[in-house]
């Protein structure tokens, strides 16, 4: 058994932007488990624990969709939190750009994975970059204040040319991700 997810990785030029936002929010002293900057990605599908035998069918299903998907552009947009900025549980940066193409791509992937027995998400797809997860109420009010006061976070557009099936290894030090397969988009 292995833990797996399909994601869009980010260009390395975005890492300093993500780190700066995290550093500003860390000043709140809130009890947040911050995602290491190198692990931040856009999750397309979390499969959970799967058997080794399921890896190839997942890759084949994803490849069937990516072969017909032209590359599209995304960019990082403002910060926010789920469920709300005033009651943050997950702190994130938004994703903008060609969201229509991304949404269509996501729906096709969900259909392909549903055919393999992975049920679709029960909530609408909201592409985002998870920066951290709030662990307790400590300094949550200051975190909310800092989130609301952040200057606009906008990146240059970056092109999505591939998706990656990752293996996630959990340890007391946190999760480490290793690519199982890089799956290119058409073109």
Write down the catalytic residue from 7, 22, 28, 41.
Answer: 41
Write down the catalytic residue from 10, 42, 76, 128.
Answer: 128
128 is catalytic: yes
Contact 162, 24 (CB under 8 A): no
Angle at CA 99, nearest 5°, toward 32 and 86? 30
* 62 Rama sector, left if φ>0, alpha if ψ -120 to 50, beta otherwise: alpha
3-state secondary structure of 187: coil
Helix residue ranges, H only, 8-161: 15-26, 55-66, 99-114, 140-149
| Catalytic center residues | 41, 128
């Amino acid at each position: 058994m292995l833990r797996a997810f399909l994601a869009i990785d980010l260009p390395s030029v975005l890492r300093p932007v993500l780190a700066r936002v995290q550093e500003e929010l860390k000043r709140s002293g809130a009890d947040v488990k911050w995602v290491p900057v190198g692990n931040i990605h856009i999750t397309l599908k979390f499969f959970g624990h799967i058997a080794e035998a399921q890896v190839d069918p997942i890759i084949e299903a994803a490849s069937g969709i990516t072969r017909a998907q032209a590359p599209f552009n995304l960019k990082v947009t403002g910060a926010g939190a789920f469920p709300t900025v005033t009651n943050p549980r997950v702190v994130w940066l938004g994703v903008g750009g060609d969201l229509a193409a991304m949404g269509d791509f996501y729906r096709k992937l969900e259909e392909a994975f549903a055919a393999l027995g992975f049920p679709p998400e029960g909530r609408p797809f909201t592409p985002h970059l998870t920066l951290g997860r709030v662990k307790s109420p400590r300094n949550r009010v200051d975190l909310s204040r800092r989130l609301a006061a952040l200057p606009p976070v906008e990146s240059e557009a970056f092109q999505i040319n591939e998706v990656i099936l990752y293996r996630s290894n959990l340890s007391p030090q946190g999760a480490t991700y290793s690519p199982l397969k890089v799956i290119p988009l058409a073109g």
